Structure 1
Amino acid sequence: MSWDNNGRSGASRAVSGAFGIVVVAGLAVLVVRPELMPWRASGDTQPLAAETARPSAAPSEEVFPDRPTLREPFKGSPALRWADGAAGIETPRATAVGWMSKDEVAAALRTTKDFLVAANLDPAVIKGDKPAAALALLDPKQPDVRSDMEKSLVKATEENDPTLLFSRFSPKEVRLAGSVVKTRGRMTVEAGKGENADTVLVRTDYTFVYPVVKVRPGADEVTRTIVRRQITFALPDPAEFVVTKGKLSVHEWSSNAGNDDCDRPVDGFFHPMFDEDMAAVPDAAATGPVVDPYDRSKNLDDLPQECGTSSRT
């Protein structure tokens, strides 16, 4: 696997690839940087209904959105109306699919949710700890995936970075502003086709919004990192494949991290950028295509695979 950073620093990374039951293939990257924006009061704060299908457009964008604060870290963000944490990861109604019974599908959906929660919402993992619970749900018999992630937690590289699957921030730099991560997305299950005919696929598409503040004493500026992940998990028929029943195989994935400084060496953590950071280099111009990290209407693989500019955080 490989990725390519183009231009100077951006503020997010997007990556995509596919994992077979036997082989691992391709990886691409998009890097996005936020812009300074003026602010004004937010509008509707009523919670949104659960997402049941891909939206047709991005959330509306205010010209002068509210500035986030330590007390209200989601001010000015569409995520203000999203569900809190695991409540935003709803599993669909289970039915028999492919080789799996209704009960087996229900168990697979629960395991998928458990993985997403452990990988993206566990407070200890967000603070930079090892995502042991999430790793334990991955099939050790799938070549490379779990073992590569284990290695990346010891030494992260551009080719092998734990943030590809896990949301981790350096505890020396930032902490969550509050205790809530906002979540929105959906999960579906289907029988595989063609070469995957003996496999059940669980497709997930979720965005996680992390409000953070620097750990420096007295720091009060809040910014947000927006991480969207599209991951398809495979449940191969144990009668046909060498797998561990009840564990997940990563079939394919894409991810985008809005507001993650890609100018930093890869170290296995997201590195949010703050207004004060960008004010320190006023002549640094953002370049590349503009991407809205809150836009869930597009497939991540359809985004420009190059450095760009984030329209908001």
Structure 2
Amino acid sequence: MSEDPKIPDDVWERFARDSERDIRDSAPKEPSARAREVTERLRRQEARGELPEGWRTGPARQQKSRRGLWGVLGVAVAVVVAVVAVKPSLVPGDPFGGGTSSEAASSPLPEETAAPTAAPSAEASAIPTLDDPFAGSPAKRWADGAAGIAVPEAKAVGGRSKATTEQALELTRKLLVESNLDAGTLHGERPKAALDVLDPVQKNVRGLLETALIKPDKKHDPLWMFSRFDPEEVRLVGDVVKTRGRMTFKAGDHASVAVHADYTFVYPVVQTNGSTEVTRTIIRRVLDVEISDPARYQVTPGKLSVVKWDQDINNSACDVHDGYLHPHFASSEPTGPSPSGPTTDPYDRSRTLDAHRDEACGTVSRV
């Protein structure tokens, strides 16, 4: 049993001082000769019926009594406040609206508006299940699917209008959704809607991806842009993919609106062989695109040109270039070469994807 909370000495001293004053003020006092004379005169007048009924409890006396009562109550309230300040848990419920730590841990995260400065804190150990596929993952508090891809408020930049900026942002969002969240794309179908966003004039991007979808290999890998699973090997658990990231824009170098997108997608999957073991593949994608002025550059109006892309694919077989993601399950033999690269945290969005980073197949600290 815990000890009663200790009330600070200064609170007790104030309580004792105020109490002593109130007792002193309310104690009977020996009336003066003048007071005795007035009292005797009033008594005689009352006996003759010359004073109104209730004169002993008139308004002035009643108000004084109320002041005295509130004075005593004020001291008591001060003591209670002091106790609560020392130990708030003594008050039932949640009067300050702070919520419990468990409630805070399960509430959705606010939108990401700047680059994080550290990796998410460790979650309580939990095994993902078919009913709770994000158990034990920081992504449990992330947004669901396209809701996690927010478009910032547009404005005119680089000599391009606000409407052009809005178009660039919406096309970038559509590319991300169609490439990483569309059910058909995830099931290995041809991502036609995503391809249609890209400028056909840019052969080294759209042309490369078209080839990669038909005949994937190490130099033509559709996973560079699209998240695709082999439907004969795995299936998604439920219909929710967790998403977190941010989108920004600025004036580009080609009379353009340049958009930068940085998002992480978390896919819970299970094997199609009847197993109920759930694992997760985590993919971070960084994408730079732009819409240039068609009056000055050879571009297709209303299409995106890709300036740069990068991806960090975690918990999927390395050096397997068949165009599909191959998640690793603890109960299965690993596919591909043994990891030889560094161990990384796939949820750490504070890391920059260095173009010269070690490309060796590594391991993840958590999934």
TM-score band by shorter chain is 0.7 to 0.9
Q: Distance in 2 between matches of 1:168 and 1:255?
A: 14
Q: Find the counterpart in structure 1 of residue 242 from structure 2.
A: 182
1:58 aligns with 2:112: no
Pick from 143, 148, 170 the counterpart of residue 88 of structure 1. Answer: 148
1:269 aligns with 2:329: no
Contact 2:168 2:257 (8 Å CA) reproduced: no
Runs of 4 or more above 4 Å deviation: 278-281
Unaligned runs of 5+ in 1: 1-40
The correspondence of residues 1-313 of structure 1 with structure 2, limited to 5 A, is 44-62=105-123, 65-192=125-252, 196-216=253-273, 218-263=274-319, 265-278=320-333, 286-301=339-354, 303-313=357-367
Q: Distance in 1 between matches of 2:299 and 2:326?
A: 36
The one-letter amino acid paired with 1:262 is: C
Unaligned runs of 5+ in 2: 1-101
* Aligned CA distance change for structure 1 residues 65 and 304 (closer, same or farther; 3 Å): farther
Q: Distance in 2 between matches of 1:215 and 1:200?
A: 44
Larger radius of gyration: 2
Contact 1:78 1:294 (8 Å CA) reproduced: yes
The one-letter amino acid paired with 1:270 is: L
Structure showing the higher helix proportion among its residues = 2
SS state at 1:109 partner? helix
The one-letter amino acid paired with 1:58 is: A
How many angstroms does 1:197 deviate by? 4.5
Q: Distance in 2 between matches of 1:104 and 1:198?
A: 11
Contact 1:99 1:237 (8 Å CA) reproduced: no
Contact 2:341 2:359 (8 Å CA) reproduced: no
Q: Find the counterpart in structure 1 of residue 47 from structure 2.
A: none
The one-letter amino acid paired with 1:308 is: G
Q: Distance in 2 between matches of 1:205 and 1:279?
A: 29
Q: Distance in 1 between matches of 2:160 and 2:265?
A: 30
Contact 1:42 1:76 (8 Å CA) reproduced: no
Q: Please give the TM-score of this superposition, normalised by the length of structure 2.
A: 0.69
The one-letter amino acid paired with 1:51 is: E
The one-letter amino acid paired with 1:297 is: S
The one-letter amino acid paired with 2:306 is: V
Which stretch shows the higher mean deviation, 65-74 or 232-241?
232-241
How many angstroms does 1:81 deviate by? 0.2
Q: Distance in 2 between matches of 1:278 and 1:183?
A: 29
Q: Distance in 1 between matches of 2:200 and 2:128?
A: 41
Contact 2:341 2:358 (8 Å CA) reproduced: no
Superposed CA deviations along residues 5-57 of structure 1, whole A, max 9, x for unmatched, are xxxxxxxxxxxxxxxxxxxxxxxxxxxxxxxxxxxx99811100000000000
* Aligned CA distance change for structure 1 residues 172 and 191 (closer, same or farther; 3 Å): same
Q: Distance in 1 between matches of 2:291 and 2:335?
A: 49
Q: Distance in 2 between matches of 1:58 and 1:69?
A: 24
The one-letter amino acid paired with 2:305 is: S
Q: Which has the higher contact order (CA 8 A, sep 6+)?
A: 1
SS state at 1:94 partner? coil
SS state at 1:80 partner? helix
RMSD: 2.1
Q: Distance in 2 between matches of 1:228 and 1:215?
A: 25
* Aligned CA distance change for structure 1 residues 312 and 43 (closer, same or farther; 3 Å): farther
Which stretch shows the higher mean deviation, 49-58 or 103-112?
103-112
Contact 2:168 2:290 (8 Å CA) reproduced: no
Superposed CA deviations along residues 266-286 of structure 1, whole A, max 9, x for unmatched, are 1101000101114899xx975
Superposed CA deviations along residues 193-249 of structure 1, whole A, max 9, x for unmatched, are xxx242221000000000000011x31000000010000002111121100111001
Q: Distance in 2 between matches of 1:43 and 1:239?
A: 52
SS state at 2:331 partner? helix
Q: Please give the TM-score of this superposition, normalised by the length of structure 1.
A: 0.81
Q: Distance in 1 between matches of 2:103 and 2:316?
A: 24
Q: Distance in 1 between matches of 2:152 and 2:248?
A: 7
Contact 1:175 1:214 (8 Å CA) reproduced: yes
How many angstroms does 1:309 deviate by? 1.4
Q: Distance in 1 between matches of 2:258 and 2:167?
A: 13
Identity of aligned residues (%): 51
The one-letter amino acid paired with 1:245 is: P
